[in-house]
Amino acid sequence: MLTWRISAINWSSPAASNSFPRGCEREMKIVPIACLEDNYAYLIIDENSREAAAVDPVEPEKILQTAVENGVDLKLVLTTHHHWDHAGGNEKIKQLVPGIKVFGGSIDNVKGCTNKLENGDKLVLGTDVNILSLHTPCHTKGHISYYVTSKEEEDPAVFTGDTLFVAGCGKFFEGTAEQMYQSLCVTLGSLPKPTRVFCGHEYTEKNLRFALTVEPENGKTREKLSWAQHQRQGNLPTIPSTIGEELETNPFMRVDLPELQARVNCQSPVEALKEIRRLKDNWRG
């Protein structure tokens, strides 16, 4: 088992380094927490109230330790989907934090859920953090991504679970290529390009290597792969990405391009997305 620990965002990330100036006061802080073999959980912290939300807290004790280290009061759990490595800590965290609210998709059968969310539902964390529920089905039928902004709507972030990975997407376990196209290219792809992407797993290096089999001439992808390999050699994270970076390097979000469709012998974005997913499922890297 890979042992790793992340206590805060790594500011050498090309996405993170452009998020806001060093020393700038922020209303919202995001703390990635490495869990299991390659999962990410997160704390979203409202800096003003010192209240926090946990995203997919599969290892509750580790999440609570991080909350204590950051001096915050844990109020919410935001669950992206029902798979055990994302929702498996919900019941335990309810025991450890009596009264905590656990959110999840209304049709996703999330373990421990106390508050069911529909697409477009809005939550508030503390005084300055706004959370928008986005239904992004396919990996699971009720998968939710969480679009999070500060009071001033600066430095937006999206928590994409297993729908969108850095340079990849989740398997189509409970949905169709049409649904994944809507989730990736329409719902998430229409978010502001600077939006930071915090996904559910550390799959970046492998995803970028596969992406180059689809678009071998994509210089942005090759450059990001080199950076990701350097990060992982140092046992450092490759998150966050940004929506803008994904539109440049993620083949699953680039299927509207005729040249990419041609490379996989397809005639439409949805057909291309389905074919690239098939190729990835059979790729051994």
Question: What is d(CA 162, CA 181) in angstroms, rounded to the nearest whole number?
Answer: 14
**Structural contact between residues 171 and 184, judged by C-beta atoms closer than 8 angstroms:** no
Q: Is the C-alpha dihedral spanning 266, 271, 276, 278 positive or negative?
A: negative
Amino acid at 42: Y
Adjacency order of strands within the sheet including 241-242: 122-125, 129-135, 144-150, 157-161, 196-199, 241-242
Question: What is d(CA 258, CA 281) in angstroms, rounded to the nearest whole number?
Answer: 23
Question: What is d(CA 149, CA 154) in angstroms, rounded to the nearest whole number?
Answer: 6
Q: Report which of 91, 99, 111 is spatially closest to residue 74, judged by C-alpha positions.
A: 99
**Structural contact between residues 191 and 25, judged by C-beta atoms closer than 8 angstroms:** no
User: Could you give the residue numbers annotated as active site?
Assistant: 81, 83, 85-86, 139, 162, 201
